Amino acid sequence: MNPIIESQIDGLKEVAHNLWWTWNQSAQLIFKELATMVWEETNHNAVAVLNSISPAELQARLRESTFGESVKEMLTDFDQYMHREKTWGSVNMAEFQQHPIAYFSPEFALHESLPIYSGGLGVLSGDHIKSASDLGIPMVGIGLFYRQGYFHQTLAVDGWQHETYVTNDPHNLPITLLRDKAGKPVVTFVEIGHSIVKLYVWKLNIGRIKLYLLDSNHPDNEEHYRELTARTYGGDITTRICQEIAMGIGGVRLLNTIGVEPSVYHMNEGHSAFLGLELAREKLLEGKTIEEAFAWVKEHCVFTTHTPVPAGHDRFTKDLMLFTLSNYSATLGISIDKIMEYGRVNPYDDKETFCMTVFALKMSRSTNAVSALHGDVTRKMWQGLFPDKPVEQVPITHITNGVHILGWMNSPTRKFWHKFLGEDWEYHIMQGDFWHKVSDPNFIPDEEIWALRYNLRRLLIEFTRMRLKEQQRRAGGNGVKLFDTFLSPDALTIGFSRRFATYKRAPLIFANIEKSLSMFNNEDRPLQIIFAGKAHPKDDNGKALIKRVVELSKHPQLFGKVAFIENYDINVARFLISGCDIWLNTPRRPLEASGTSGQKIAIHGGLNLGILDGWWREGYDSTNGFAIGKDEHPDNEKEQDRVDEENLYSVLLNEVIPTFYNRDAANIPRLWIMKIRKAMQTLIPKFNTDRMVADYATRIYKK
Ligand SMILES: *Cc1c(COP(=O)(O)O)cnc(C)c1O
């Protein structure tokens, strides 16, 4: 074979197995052009595309000059990315080169073709790793390989959610089984109860970073343990603790096996906190006392908490701890009674269960919440652990979440920014002054922004129509044609998509149905809304909210204006966050610890309309979007719902709708576009994971 073609084929395989391509549109286009139907049918899976093409076909395609040239350029970009020497990390984090940060998270949402995530926490972890790669920060990720991932959502005719599971085929995923030098699979293990549970390890490349996912599907394991890591947040509380043992203890052992000596262990949420026990075990073996061992652990661990309600934290009874950890505790030389003490607010209160968050807090030299308000809530919640400190001095800080801007972009948006900001804007994302020019209409004309908005809104509407037709066909197929004209590409389009947890109050915009009907049926100022989101399989209240939204979408006076897209995932999210004019967020304050979906829209010219909770409380400045209510909330839930409903209608009717439909002679909404500029200028440089990870690096990872 021609050596150039041969090296290009190797290069394509390497890129397909490095998720760098998920934030490089040229690479995506190449895989799409190679096998368009496979690409679409596999939810944009580069590995599946390559697996479907013979060497003969690949050679033939690469010999065509235009395609060959674009592959060559892309491979050069990849090579430069992987080998860039001067990075933010090389300048600011040089001391971490030999001893990286180990980042533990129960889920990683990296791309729609790798369905091993549930929602926001996974998106945050995935974006964290991608930015760490972009910044050149030494890091390894640890998580679990969920062979069946999270469930696929379908809705019955009455709107009730049904869950099905699909088994992922590793051969068609960008993962490889980790092997030792002799070619044998690397296997780590944990003790659970009286069993030894062996764990295979899958390796993923995410730009310059490696992520290792543990998998209990090993033939030597008892049948029920082979399924332990099958599903994201699957099973019951016993599954939960066993998964957490696998991740925390198994993860530390794996790092040992492969010779990685982290300088910091970052627990993203409390699920991985058992890593503290295993690190302590190592120190005990070196001859340290229990106190010295835990002091060492505390010096090396940091913790991010995400859960603002007490009931949301993992708690395990002593019986469950005994059942799962007694053998392990014997090898550790620390009794379950003693371990229980470390997981309680009041160590000697026998009635208190073992709390992973409490344990993580005690094992960490730094704990942070994920927004300023969430910091206040968290300090209050855990004040009991610091009885001698007033609440403002409880040592829990905050770093507000962000999103990986490049990964949340689509092709038209990428082209737009390329046109106005040139080649290397991607390295200036977190630089505030870089974005000032965006407010200047001479730099980017209004017409250009408005054209982008139309382009993205149409893509979303065509996508929604296609999905609704599919849903309709599956439900029996009546009236599929009706969906050809469903939703209008000219209408003010609102998006609401996220997990259907009750506190997020998805149907709030319909709280007063009379008001809503008149608002949605104003012919001069049409309004439409698209929903998507999954409820946890055990959350019947969340499912009831989905059902309510689906019923409303069938209301004769709302038909064609309200849509629910099934099976929310990263692909659906990308269409929604780019196509919507307004991103609606109505959590019961202060329960949205941060939220990130609203951060994904500024780069596409969308505007937020949200309760001043989580990140939006910090992002909103009165010129760059819309607020529902003020920086306060009643503590009575009923009253809160009433006030928020009133404020939502008022801001929609008095600000959002009039501003969108206030047009000049050229039919352009100048004031609306001014807000878009403000949103771009103020939000993009702040609410991104480059800024967030740089904050973690300088404030948390470094001592
Ligand atoms: C961004 C995102 C989320 C998080 O949404 P929030 O509004 O922050 O809760 C959840 N799921 C998917 C697929 C996402 O892309």
Give the Å distance between the CA of 577 and the centre of ligand 1. Answer: 10
Q: Is ligand 1 within 6 A of the CB of residue 119?
A: yes
Mean pLDDT (whole number) for 467-480: 87
Q: Is ligand 1 within 6 A of the CB of residue 597?
A: yes
State whether 235 and 279 are in the same domain: yes
State whether 456 and 534 are in the same domain: yes
Q: Is ligand 1 within 6 A of the CB of residue 595?
A: yes
DSSP string for 515-549: HHHHHHT-SSS-EEEEEE----TT-HHHHHHHHHH
First to last CA, the chain: 53
Mean pLDDT (whole number) for 93-105: 96
Please check whether residue 583 is in contact with residue 601, taking contact to mean a CB–CB distance below 8 angstroms.
Answer: yes
Query: For 106-124, what is each residue's pLDDT tens digit?
Result: 999 999 999 999 999 999 9
Q: Is ligand 1 within 6 A of the CB of residue 122?
A: no
Indicate the pLDDT class of residue 377, thresholds 50, 70 and 90: very high
Query: For 168-199, what is each residue's pLDDT tens digit?
Result: 999 999 999 999 999 999 999 999 999 999 99
Residue 619 has pLDDT above 90, yes or no: yes
**How far apart are alpha carbons 359 and 357 in whole angstroms?**
5
Q: Is ligand 1 within 6 A of the CB of residue 498?
A: yes
Share of the chain above pLDDT 90, in %: 96
Indicate the pLDDT class of residue 40, thresholds 50, 70 and 90: very high
Please check whether residue 389 is in contact with residue 674, taking contact to mean a CB–CB distance below 8 angstroms.
Answer: no
Query: Given the CA of residue 497, which atom of ligand 1 is nearest to it?
Result: 7
Name the phi and psi angles at 165, rounded to 5: -120, 140
State whether 494 and 576 are in the same domain: yes
State whether 415 and 440 are in the same domain: yes
Indicate the pLDDT class of residue 310, thresholds 50, 70 and 90: confident
Residue-level pLDDT at 30: 98
| H or E stretch at 192 | strand 187-192
Q: Is ligand 1 within 6 A of the CB of residue 107?
A: no
- Last-in-domain residue among 83, 108, 131: 83
User: Ligand 1: which of 22, 232, 497, 572 to mutate, judged by most atoms within 8 Å of the beta carbon?
Assistant: 497
3-state secondary structure of 701: helix
3-state DSSP of 286-320: CCCCHHHHHHHHHHHEEEECCCCCHHHCCEECHHH
State whether 71 and 132 are in the same domain: no
345 falls within a domain: yes
Mean pLDDT (whole number) for 63-67: 96
271 falls within a domain: yes
3-state DSSP of 584-623: EECCCCCCCCCCCHHHHCHHHCCEEEEECCHHHHHHCCCC
State whether 378 and 411 are in the same domain: no
Q: Structural domain tally of the chain? A: 3
**CATH number reported for the structural domain that contains residue 316 in this entry:** 3.40.50.2000
152 falls within a domain: no
Query: For 528-551, what is each residue's pLDDT tens digit?
Result: 999 999 999 999 999 999 999 999
State whether 20 and 142 are in the same domain: no
Taken in order 263, 269, 272, 278, the sign of the CA dihedral is positive
State whether 421 and 334 are in the same domain: no
Helical packing angle, 275-285 and 318-332, nearest 10°: 30
499 falls within a domain: yes
209 falls within a domain: yes
Give the Å distance between the CA of 398 and the centre of ligand 1. Answer: 20
Rg of the chain taking only CA atoms, in angstroms: 25
State whether 269 and 415 are in the same domain: no
Residue-level pLDDT at 1: 74
Domain that holds residue 59: 3-83
88 falls within a domain: no
State whether 354 and 417 are in the same domain: no
State whether 118 and 24 are in the same domain: no
State whether 63 and 134 are in the same domain: no
184 falls within a domain: no
Per the listing, tokens 């959610």 go with 161
Name the phi and psi angles at 209, rounded to 5: -110, 145
**How far apart are alpha carbons 577 and 404 in whole angstroms?**
13
Indicate the pLDDT class of residue 478, thresholds 50, 70 and 90: confident
Mean pLDDT (whole number) for 239-250: 98
* Count of CA atoms in the C-beta half-sphere (13 A) of 333: 12
